[in-house]
Chains A and B, each alone.
Chain A
Amino acid sequence: MREKDISRLLTDEYAERILVATQNSPRSVQEISDRYDIPIAACYRKVHELEEAGFLKCADIVTTPKGKTMKLYQSQLRSAVLMYEDGVFKVKFDFDNDRDISGKWIELNSANGS
């Protein structure tokens, strides 16, 4: 996933709610869907997108009383900044875990090119 898509993901309404929901404790998709009023299919899709982008991590797998396994997700994103200065878009992400793009400014595109 490209950085541009990642920064767009951040301002997606559902994605933002999911990141907020999983900020402090691991939660299941079902729980996020119920609590934050996100349709369950959309919730699964966004959780997978966020997981792929590295914003979410499966922190635990639990077994429900009905014997089903359920994944609990936790947000890995500490902070994100999107900046537009002098006709240039830049983003910076800070993650809880070590990642190559963590804490670095990434230029997206500018008025002069691309």
Chain B
Amino acid sequence: MNGAGERGDTVEDNPQTPNERLMTPLEASQLLTDEYSAKILLATYKRRISAQEISQRYGIPIAACYRKIRILEEAGLIQCVDRILTQKGKRKNLYTSCLRNAYIFFENGKLRARFQLATGAVRDFGGDWNGLDLLRQ
């Protein structure tokens, strides 16, 4: 289901910057269904917030919070928009979500995912996209 052929297809459909590792539809979906990742996406939605604040407000252990933020940042779903100086003189990164909409479909034993980013860019995982009718039902 996550075979090499599909990966190849996605490359052709979606040219991406070379430093971005290509995710399988399963990996892409897991970014949304993982408890901490989902919370971070919600915490950063139309907001600028630090890892420390996310950790405290959403009850995510700080190390896990930093790790998940890095994974989401690498996937291009959140970005660091500012580095502010705290009262103690430490640097603090502020993050905001780049993800506007996301859809994950499981149908006929196949998993597909689509991310719509704030920039208007659309990224599909798992091949052709004809699942929108599923949404409207």
Residue positions of A touching B, CB distance < 8 A: 4, 7-8, 10-11, 13, 16-17, 19-20, 23, 77-87, 89, 103, 108-111
Bound CA span A85–B30, Å: 17
Residue of A77, A80, A84 with most partner-chain B CB within 10 A: A84
Bound CA span A17–B111, Å: 11
- Which one of B8-16, B33-41, B67-75 contacts A? B33-41
Instruction: Tell me whether B41 and A84 are in contact (CB under 8 A).
Output: yes
**Size bin of chain B's contact surface:** 20 to 34
Do A11 and B135 contact each other (CB < 8 Å), given the known contacts A16-B111, A80-B106?
no
Instruction: Tell me whether B33 and A8 are in contact (CB under 8 A).
Output: yes
For A82, give its contact among B32, B42, B99 (CB under 8 Å): B32
Instruction: Tell me whether A79 and B134 are in contact (CB under 8 A).
Output: yes
Within 8 A of A (CB), among B89-124: 99-109, 111
Q: A37 CB to closest chain B CB, in angstroms?
A: 12
Shortest Cβ distance from B99 into A: residue = A84
Instruction: Tell me whether B33 and A7 are in contact (CB under 8 A).
Output: yes
Instruction: Tell me whether A11 and B35 are in contact (CB under 8 A).
Output: no
Interface SS of chain B: mixed
12 more contacts with CB within 8 A, not counting A81-B106, A82-B32, A86-B101, are A10-B33, A16-B1, A16-B106, A17-B1, A79-B107, A82-B29, A85-B101, A87-B42, A109-B38, A110-B42, A111-B46, A111-B47
Shortest Cβ distance from A24 into B: residue = B109
Shortest Cβ distance from A114 into B: residue = B42
Shortest Cβ-Cβ A-B pairs, 5 listed: A20-B109, A111-B45, A84-B102, A82-B104, A87-B45
Q: A46 CB to closest chain B CB, in angstroms?
A: 15
Q: A55 CB to closest chain B CB, in angstroms?
A: 10
With an 8 A cutoff between CB atoms, is B130 at the interface? no
B32 cross-chain contacts in A, Cβ below 8 A? 11, 82, 84, 89
For A87, give its contact among B34, B46, B137 (CB under 8 Å): B46
